[in-house]
Amino acid sequence: PVPKSISAARSARILCLQDSNSNTKYFDFVVVGSGVAGLRYALEVSKHGSVAIITKAEPHESNTNYAQGGVSAVLCPSDSVESHMQDTIVAGAYLCDEETVRVVCTEGPDRVKELIAIGASFDHGDDGKLHLAREGGHSHNRIVHAADMTGREIERALLKAFHPTALADEGLPIKPTNRRENAFLITEAVRGDGGILYNQSMQRFMPLYDERAELAPRDVVARSIDDQLKKRGEKYVLLDISHKPREQILAHFPNIAAECLRYGLDITSSPVPVVPAAHYMCGGIRAGLQGETNVKGLYVAGEVACTGLHGANRLASNSLLEALVFARRAVQPSIDHMTRSSLDIHASTMWTRPVLPTSLESHAMQEILFRTKTTRVELQSIMWEYVGIVRSTSRLKTAEWKIGELEAEWEEFLFRREWKPMMVGLQACEMKNLFCCAKLVVSSALARQESRGLHYIEDFPFLEESKRKPTIIFPTSLKLTWSSQQAHKLAAGAPL
């Protein structure tokens, strides 16, 4: 935070203090991430102080931009908050925090209306009302959407809401320059719109696993597909929407149709090969009802947060909803914290400043980049192979060991090429974060000795009521290496 006298002097552009002796800039609010949560929060707090939005790539490059389905909210007279709550809790295998669920389901409709007021354009039916779709796990049509590109439309509207002079010095380009590889999702809305899953013998299989068939929650569908693939020794199943009218398919799923055509697949006339994919992190930094954490002044919203909404499995289209609700709830507490705080320039000396690896020889840097790229692929393979849809204690322990070995080898490789602990680079920072997240997922999975929601473990295949409580991992319970060591501890000379 900056001094109150500075906070009082506001205009339409971002104002910040800058240390004349360094390149350090000081803002009232720093927002890390430019997805729906970050941008929605920034729009509000920018009315009360200077804001820096930090994103590692183009502003559009966020998980929000890849969210196809929509935002779930009670906007139909035949629907109810209680029904939305019940669907959320059932999908979450009764591990959801009921108070959080009520808050999100109650406040959701107003958050959607705010988006519309900001300029987001959602699909409407012939009657002029919002077209509400249905997805797996929902008992009513309550998904507000913009065809199959809802996240992209929300991101567009929020970015446009910023006046150009209210952005960072470099400005915010509207179109991303890079394309994300190997990340094309088929929205759950295809199943909600009548899509049917078949094995390669064109046998419909979902009714064999759940009475809700294709409208079962995603954890049930993912396990069912996984079971079919293993039993039949096949690589994929088929999702078919071609029995629906061509015009309806193209109207509801234009992006999916176009993307599939790039690979020679016409979804209006033939089924699409699909497999389950790692998609969303249900856990995260533990947060209260205002997005607050146990770190004073740090608020979280969106996929980074664990609010208790999702429980053991996220209900379709509840992710954008949660981000909107908690981004808005974190605003006033943040303002209150900022106004009663004062700037302590010396606080930053607790942390050794990160440095770019400019001192490294170019060949050493190239070797590090290549090794990091291959290490990332190896880590992904370990997680998919040992920490996937169906787990076991022995395989989780194997993953724990393999991840530890891989991390140690990667770190040793870097340090042998003169990499220093406080050096930073995009690929290295991402690799550190991936190792940290992987270890957290494995630790959490080992701690839950029951099968609940998306966590299915063969050693404990049943629900245990006595274990119906959230898993909390404390930093001290993890074996820390350079990758997961806190920077201020490194600065203090803590052993690696």
Q: What is the spatial distance between Cα 332 and Cα 292, in angstroms, rounded to a whole number?
A: 11
> How far are the Cα atoms of 167, 288, 402, 426 from residue 414, in angstroms, in the given order?
36, 38, 18, 14
71 and 321 in contact (C-beta within 8 Å)?
Answer: yes
Token duo for residue 77: 């007279």
Mean pLDDT of the chain: 86
Among residues 216, 193, 196, 40, the alpha carbon closest in space to that of 123 is found at 193
Alpha carbons within 13 A on the beta-carbon side of 119 = 10
CA 80, 86, 91, 95 torsion: positive or negative? positive
Quickly count helices (H) and strands (E) in the chain: 16, 14
371 and 410 in contact (C-beta within 8 Å)?
Answer: yes
pTM score over 0.75: yes
**Phi–psi pair at 455, nearest 5 degrees:** -95, 105
Query: Per residue in 353-371, pLDDT tens?
Result: 889 999 999 999 999 999 9
- Residue 68 banded pLDDT, cuts 50, 70, 90: confident
Q: What is the spatial distance between Cα 211 and Cα 216, in angstroms, rounded to a whole number?
A: 8
- Residue 435, SS3? helix
Q: What is the pLDDT of residue 48?
A: 94
Considering only residues 280 and 116, tell me which one the structure prediction assigns the higher pLDDT: 116
Query: Per residue in 333-355, pLDDT tens?
Result: 999 999 998 877 777 777 778 89
487: pLDDT strictly greater than 80: no
Token duo for residue 166: 């209210």
- Listed in order, strand segments (DSSP E) in 400-481 are 456-457
Q: What is the spatial distance between Cα 201 and Cα 324, in angstroms, rounded to a whole number?
A: 43
20: pLDDT strictly greater than 70: no
> Percentage of residues in the chain with pLDDT exceeding 70?
87
Among residues 289, 286, 291, 303, the alpha carbon closest in space to that of 330 is found at 291
Q: What is the spatial distance between Cα 447 and Cα 443, in angstroms, rounded to a whole number?
A: 6
Q: What is the pLDDT of residue 452?
A: 93
Q: What is the spatial distance between Cα 314 and Cα 92, in angstroms, rounded to a whole number?
A: 6
Q: What is the pLDDT of residue 470?
A: 83
- Residue 163 banded pLDDT, cuts 50, 70, 90: low
Which run of H or of E encompasses 305? strand 305-306
328: pLDDT strictly greater than 60: yes
Q: What is the pLDDT of residue 304?
A: 94
Residues 6 or more apart in contact with residue 230 via CB below 8 angstroms: none
89 and 311 in contact (C-beta within 8 Å)?
Answer: yes
Query: Per residue in 188-238, pLDDT tens?
Result: 889 989 999 999 999 999 999 999 999 998 899 999 999 999 999 999 999
Q: What is the pLDDT of residue 263?
A: 87
Q: What is the spatial distance between Cα 8 and Cα 186, in angstroms, rounded to a whole number?
A: 48
Which of the residue ranges 177-181, 211-215, 470-474 has the most confident prediction, judged by mean pLDDT?
211-215
Residues 6 or more apart in contact with residue 366 via CB below 8 angstroms: none
Q: What residue ranges define each of the domains in the chain, with the CATH number in brackets?
A: 189-274 (3.90.700.10), 362-491 (1.20.58.100)
The length of the chain in residues reads 496
Q: What 8-state DSSP symbol labels residue 191?
A: H
- Residue 21 banded pLDDT, cuts 50, 70, 90: low
Q: What is the spatial distance between Cα 368 and Cα 365, in angstroms, rounded to a whole number?
A: 5
Token duo for residue 275: 């497999």
13: pLDDT strictly greater than 80: no
Angle at the Cα of 91 (from 90 to 96), degrees rounded to 5? Answer: 75
Q: What is the pLDDT of residue 189?
A: 87
Give me the DSSP letters along 330-384.
THHHHHHHHHT----GGGGGGSPPPB-STTS-HHHHHHHHHHHHHHHHHHHHHHH
Q: What is the pLDDT of residue 435?
A: 95
172 and 162 in contact (C-beta within 8 Å)?
Answer: yes
**Phi–psi pair at 124, nearest 5 degrees:** -120, 150
> Percentage of residues in the chain with pLDDT exceeding 90?
70
Token duo for residue 207: 């009714």
Q: What is the pLDDT of residue 19?
A: 54
Q: What is the spatial distance between Cα 389 and Cα 385, in angstroms, rounded to a whole number?
A: 9
Token duo for residue 202: 């064109």
Active-site residue list: 218
Query: Per residue in 114-158, pLDDT tens?
Result: 999 999 999 999 899 999 999 989 999 999 999 999 999 999 999
